[in-house]
Structure 1
Amino acid sequence: MLAGLCVLLATALFPAPVSADNPIIQTLFTADPAPMVHNGTVYLYTSHDEDEARNFVMRDWRLYTSTDMVNWTDHGAVASLKTFPWARQDNDAWAPQVIARGGKFYLYVPISVAGSPKNVLAVAVADTPYGPFKDALGHALIPPGNDNIDPTVAIDGDGQAYLYWGNPDLWRVKLNPDMISTSGPAVKMPRLTDYQEGPWFYRRAGHYYMAFASTCCPEGIGYAMSDHATGPWQYKGSIMDHDKRSSGNHPGIIDYKGHSYVFGFNYRFNDAQTREHRERRSVTVTEFHYNPDGTIPMQPWWDTIGAKQLGTINPFRRVEAETIAWTSASDTSASGAHNWAPGVRTAKSAGGMYVTHVLDGGYIVVRGVDFGTGAGKSFDATVAAAAGGSTIDLRLDSLTGPRVATLAVPATGGAETWRSETTPLARTRGVHDVFLVFHGKPGADLFNFDAWQIGTGRGKPRASR
């Protein structure tokens, strides 16, 4: 799938190690980013475009987390259409948002009801931000309506929660403290200049913001501001201009560790695979700085270099294999031609997420890994393989950088029969980008990969499952 990202992108794969690569998720097509900051972690909820999509084909909602804005850990689907058994089950898992309140986490989504041409808004609840989310009502929170897509929610300083949504009109309703019922009627807002859909409502430094996908098509990102959570909203201009490279857009804006970020999506990976416009999108991010008066300056169109890294990865603790800054795998024929071959993916089992569909020549990049003063003695990995003969090379800073370890992956007894393997590590100091490069029989699914760690020689690694 996306991990076979090709030679056309090769010059953009390896910017300075202090920055992320855009798009930030490469193992699936993702869209409609809904970031939430909670207890020092960014929780990024997304919708998910299926590989076969030409128009919108969306069946679940995914979660990725980061503490450095560069390496993102895949937690899989936290909810799906099955969460709402009364909804249409084959499609229409559209843009989500999650908010925390009172020790619970509330997921708001637009879905379709079987037999109805109109969307509803639904709500699910979980005890942790990782889910699983469960249907809170057994029916719609907002009943069928033509404009019922793209919910966004925030809680004002006085504790009042507001839900906004809509395309092409913007609607608002008050939520009760239980976050699963409304107070008073839904209010249709006066039309905002350049508004289309995808609203993102938030409060910051005494200002209220309404960012949105601007008039289709193509869509940019615009925004409005107000002195009150209920408006009136004053259009302030574009955060990102309309651009023919993207028929759609969807903003998500947060502050994290003293920095401000806007998320959105583009079609870079789809366009790398085909000239056909297909609704297969990829989440992106960029850092920006508010003006002194609280307005947002215009940002350039999504580039290949995302946010700067905040902090480093500690390799002396377990690192999930699905913690990824970038991943790619492409088959190369004898003639040198590159095929758009599937590469690294992630999968979920009873034991959690792991990396699968590993191909010869594929790799995972983890940026900003701090080896400290060189105390590491071994490279340890938890793997599962039906057949042996594959290896993982650990290289520093590039695909051709110093190889400091090579771990042999044996037959473990099955694709989910996990074993921890270890191999010596050459003396490695300081902060490096780690390239985990996979080798084995060309064209074969080589093995599954659960986690890795740098050992200090003080104990034998143990299987994690």
Structure 2
Amino acid sequence: MKRHLITFCAAIAAATGIGLGSGVLARNPQFQGADPHAMFVNGELWVFPTGGPGGSWAADRFGAFSSRDLKTWKSRGELIRRDQIGWIKDDGAPEHFLWAPGVATRNGKWFLYYSVGPQNPTPSRIGVAVADRPEGPYRDSGVPLVTGGNGFEAIDPMVFVDPSSGKAYLYAGGSAGATLRVWELKPDMIHIAREVKVATPPQFTEGSFMHKRGKLYYLSYSHGVFNGPSYSVHYATAPSPTGPWTYRGAILTGDAHHQGPGHHSFVQTPSGQWLIVYHRWERGPGAGPYQGERQIAIDRIRYTADGRILPIHMSDGNASPTLPVRSHQSSGSGRSGGSPHAQSPGA
């Protein structure tokens, strides 16, 4: 979701003590940021948020953070900067910002999908960059992957590779148009093969995420205004990654101590536990627009026997989930709803 964060890492250091390059203890909220894409890489949780390293961040780069225990976080440095994207000024707009990254991996390569905004005076766009390692450096593909317009805002990319078919799907869209669109990607992960016509599910605003558990596909997404009390996470299920959707309702909403939870990722731990990684405002109920910065948080997911997701309870401090630290992590690629070579998320 395309909103500014001010002095990203300076605020991280002030709020949580997380330093660049050194691990410091943290619990919910984990650190300042927004729009987190999360995935497991060799037993370690990586979070790719809007924002990145630098003392005066101005929506001009992406960074990443990782943790083996969900208590101690390590900065993974700079992934890509705005000035390394050669096409970014081709639309002639006076300013550009980088928002809402999504990450996938396939055939030993890593792919960073990202939004370039704002939507006005020219349409927003989605780009993709490629790296040999999750921490980069990422090299832009050279052209936009998707360009908005005609009522469609090209934001919030998420890539899911169906473990059943091996096909890669790009999900994007929202905000002003509140429209979901889906494309099948070519095997190289940087070109569109075709658009797949899908319905926009009820209560959809932005920030879609796809994961599979058993035989069910789960499309989850943000609803409402990002800086107000309506922002929340809803979901729908389907027999395929492109629908048809059965709307299931809201699963993450504001409470007495936190507001506006949303723009999230589902991720499965090496032991099989499902988690949600999302951003929220650390404040009680009240009308927006909220001021300040959003915080990254992680909470547990519980499913019913018939596959429904139970309402998610936001936690703080020692009530937050942690991971056991293993002495020998197995090698392999990421594990999340958006990683093509992830271990099977059907547990």
Q: TM over 0.5: same fold? A: yes
Q: How many residues align?
A: 290
Q: Quickly say closer, same or farther: Cα 1:288–1:115, change in 2 above 3 A.
A: closer
Shift, 1:76, TM fit: 2.1
Show the counterpart of 1:140. Answer: 144
The correspondence for 1:229, drawn from 216, 229, 241, is: 241
The correspondence for 1:267, drawn from 253, 265, 281, is: 281
What letter matches 1:76 in structure 2?
Answer: G
**For 1:95, what is the secondary structure of its paired residue?**
strand
Q: Quick one: distance in 2 between partners of 1:243 and 1:289?
A: 18
The correspondence for 2:169, drawn from 162, 165, 186, is: 162
| 1:77-134 residue CA offsets vs partner (Å, 9 max, x unmatched) | 2122123132159542110110010110111111038995211110000001110111
List alignment gaps of at least 5 residues for structure 2: 1-10, 17-24, 328-347
Q: Quick one: distance in 1 between partners of 2:238 and 2:171?
A: 14
What letter matches 1:166 in structure 2?
Answer: G
Q: Quick one: distance in 2 between partners of 1:246 and 1:118?
A: 30
Q: Quick one: distance in 1 between partners of 2:231 and 2:41?
A: 30
CA RMSD of aligned residues (A): 3.0
**For 2:311, what is the secondary structure of its paired residue?**
coil
Q: Quickly say closer, same or farther: Cα 1:251–1:276, change in 2 above 3 A.
A: closer
Q: How does 1:180-199 map to 2 (within 5 A)?
A: 180-185=190-195, 187=197, 189-199=198-208
Shift, 1:4, TM fit: 3.7
Show the counterpart of 1:129. Answer: 134
Q: Quick one: distance in 2 between partners of 1:278 and 1:159?
A: 43
Q: Quickly say closer, same or farther: Cα 1:306–1:250, change in 2 above 3 A.
A: farther
Q: How does 1:365-404 map to 2 (within 5 A)?
A: none
Shift, 1:171, TM fit: 0.5
| 1:11-70 residue CA offsets vs partner (Å, 9 max, x unmatched) | xxxxxxxx9611112xxx3111101123222221111289889xxx52221211122222
Shift, 1:2, TM fit: 4.3
Q: How does 1:30-45 map to 2 (within 5 A)?
A: 30-45=33-48
Q: Quickly say closer, same or farther: Cα 1:116–1:290, change in 2 above 3 A.
A: same
**For 1:22, what is the secondary structure of its paired residue?**
coil
* Residue 298, structure 1, aligned to residue 307, structure 2: no
Q: Which has the larger radius of gyration?
A: 1
Q: Quickly say closer, same or farther: Cα 1:5–1:242, change in 2 above 3 A.
A: closer
Show the counterpart of 1:254. Answer: 267
User: Residue 87 of structure 1 contacts residue 114 of structure 1 at CA under 8 Å; is this kept in 2?
Assistant: no
Q: How does 1:42-191 map to 2 (within 5 A)?
A: 42-48=45-51, 57-88=58-89, 91-112=96-117, 116-136=121-141, 138-145=142-149, 146-156=152-162, 157-167=164-174, 168-185=178-195, 187=197, 189-191=198-200
**For 1:86, what is the secondary structure of its paired residue?**
coil
| 1:246-292 residue CA offsets vs partner (Å, 9 max, x unmatched) | 356211110012211001112339x9xxx993362211111222222
Q: Quick one: distance in 2 between partners of 1:226 and 1:115?
A: 34
Q: Quickly say closer, same or farther: Cα 1:292–1:302, change in 2 above 3 A.
A: same
User: Residue 60 of structure 1 contacts residue 79 of structure 1 at CA under 8 Å; is this kept in 2?
Assistant: yes
Q: Quickly say closer, same or farther: Cα 1:133–1:267, change in 2 above 3 A.
A: same
User: Residue 44 of structure 1 contacts residue 64 of structure 1 at CA under 8 Å; is this kept in 2?
Assistant: yes
Show the counterpart of 2:324. Answer: 311
Q: Quickly say closer, same or farther: Cα 1:39–1:179, change in 2 above 3 A.
A: same
**What is the TM-score of this pair, normalised by structure 1?**
0.57
The correspondence for 1:200, drawn from 186, 200, 209, is: 209
Q: Quick one: distance in 2 between partners of 1:171 and 1:299?
A: 27
User: Residue 164 of structure 1 contacts residue 199 of structure 1 at CA under 8 Å; is this kept in 2?
Assistant: yes
**What is the TM-score of this pair, normalised by structure 2?**
0.75
Q: Quick one: distance in 1 between partners of 2:203 and 2:317?
A: 27
Shift, 1:307, TM fit: 3.5
What letter matches 2:143 in structure 1?
Answer: H
What letter matches 1:82 in structure 2?
Answer: D
State the identity %.
27
User: Residue 59 of structure 1 contacts residue 90 of structure 1 at CA under 8 Å; is this kept in 2?
Assistant: no
